[in-house]
Structure 1
């Protein structure tokens, strides 16, 4: 049996294809990353609203955050979209819009439950 050689050390690269030096990375490294953090902040606020008791308002905020993320993903090029770019642009936008609209429609259409 032949002995396997260990893999060669590859230079680190970012998701955009640029080489990254240790300690030289900025956070977030793209404008899309900043928008992503903003969307996460709104989602965290919406979850706080849901747990405080007004679940309809919280779910609408959550859906609105997803719709905003879809808009940002549609506008920004793939190299600037950061973590909003997971798949192809049209697929990301479709899934974000569909989920956002579904959450908002469900929050609006579910009737109040008397006695609960």
Structure 2
């Protein structure tokens, strides 16, 4: 690879005003503007909030309901990871899609079994 090719690849591209009439790169009159980047984190925060609620329920000494809610959060994460496109999944995308889905589903099933076999604490 030549030095000129490298410099052209890393140099900032200059755009002339006639290339972009409305000032938005990549958006024509028919195309809607792209959603803000933080919206891709909404699925992650939904899963995180549900897991936090499960942890609070466990801390309140409900050892059957808490893990069940955490398992539900993991299943929700698996569904999001399985069906949402990569640009809308945010931080839920850790590895390849199938590894994430299998890992989240397996952990959810294990927590459901844990919630099922855990003894009910009575006072």
> Which residue of 2 is the match for residue 104 of structure 1?
112
TM-score by length of 1: 0.69
| 1:6-39 per-position Cα deviation (integer Å, ceiling 9, x unaligned) | xxxx9xxxxxxxxxxxxxxx56241xx1011011
1:45 to 46, 53, 58: 53
> Which residue of 1 is the match for residue 91 of structure 2?
83
Q: How many residues align?
A: 89
1:28 to 2, 25, 38: 38
TM-score by length of 2: 0.65
**Structure 1: gaps spanning 5 or more residues:** 1-9, 11-25
> Which residue of 1 is the match for residue 32 of structure 2?
none
